[in-house]
Amino acid sequence: MKILVCVKRVADPNVKVRVRSDKTGVDLSNIKMTINPFDEIAVEAAIRLKERGVATEVVVVSCGPVASQDALRTALAMGADRGILVQTDAELQPLAVAKLVKSIVGKESPEVVMLGKQAIDDDANQTGQLLAALLDVPQATCASAIERDGDRMLVTRETDDGRETVEVSLPAVITADLRLNEPRYVTLPNLMKAKKKPLDTLDAASLGVDIAPKFTTVNVEEPPARKPGEIVLDVAALVARLRQETASN
């Protein structure tokens, strides 16, 4: 079974980003970039399936500028077999990414396509669902556990109502949640080995996909500063303060 995993290059979640002075977006200059944490979990899940003999090959794909090779190399250092970069400097929105990945799926014919449930930069949580719709295949989102059962995959999801297990036939699209696993630490020797693994680059324009943005960002602002906390002497004072806040609102 071949697994295709989509990864995205995003700003490191431990770095505080700033809004540009013209408020057109986030300033990413001189910002440490990394693989999207949810995508890293998806890569780890695919590699574990391969280590258990469920999968035979793990291919990672990323859509974006040349610098996106960094995210692919990280995935290769974790244990993926080869990478594919769909190179473009254009702004990519979820639908455009889904269309590009659909083209790669047509070339690679994987049984399972895995993604993080969302990217931490836009928090859209759309690409996996859009990809499943374009491919017309079953989908299981927000996976917290994945098992293979014959020619099907059993995916456990944690919902507001509790846990549920869904069964999807193959091929299928699966998106990973935080509870699925804890990704392995990437060692320097493995990073060096990853440089020798195959990494193919395709021009996005050569795929004949319409990636033009479907919406425009009008304005980006930082969230308002939080008010300082208030210390109360005892429970009675806390209750009185809460009642005062409730009455004022």
Q: List, in order of start, the domains of the chain with CATH numbers.
A: 2-248 (3.40.50.620)
Q: Is the pLDDT of residue 9 over 90?
A: yes
Whole-angstrom Cα Rg for the chain: 21
- Look at the block and give the residue holding tokens 């699925």: 180
Q: What is the mean pLDDT of residues 130-141?
A: 96
What tens digit of pLDDT does each residue of 47-96 get?
Answer: 999 999 999 999 999 999 999 999 999 999 999 999 999 999 988 999 99
What percentage of the chain has pLDDT greater than the value 90?
72
Q: Give the CA angle between residues 57, 3, 102 to the nearest 5°.
A: 130
Q: Which residues contact 22 (CB under 8 A, 6 or more apart)?
A: none
- The average confidence (pLDDT) of the chain is 92
Please state the separation of Cα 94 from the chain's center in Å: 11
Distance, CA of 48 to CA of 195 (rounded, Å): 21
What is the pTM for the complete model shown? 0.86
Predicted pLDDT of residue 58: 96
Predicted pLDDT of residue 184: 93
Find residue 146's DSSP bridge partners.
155
Distance, CA of 34 to CA of 4 (rounded, Å): 19
Q: How confident is the model at residue 20 (pLDDT cuts 50, 70, 90)?
A: confident
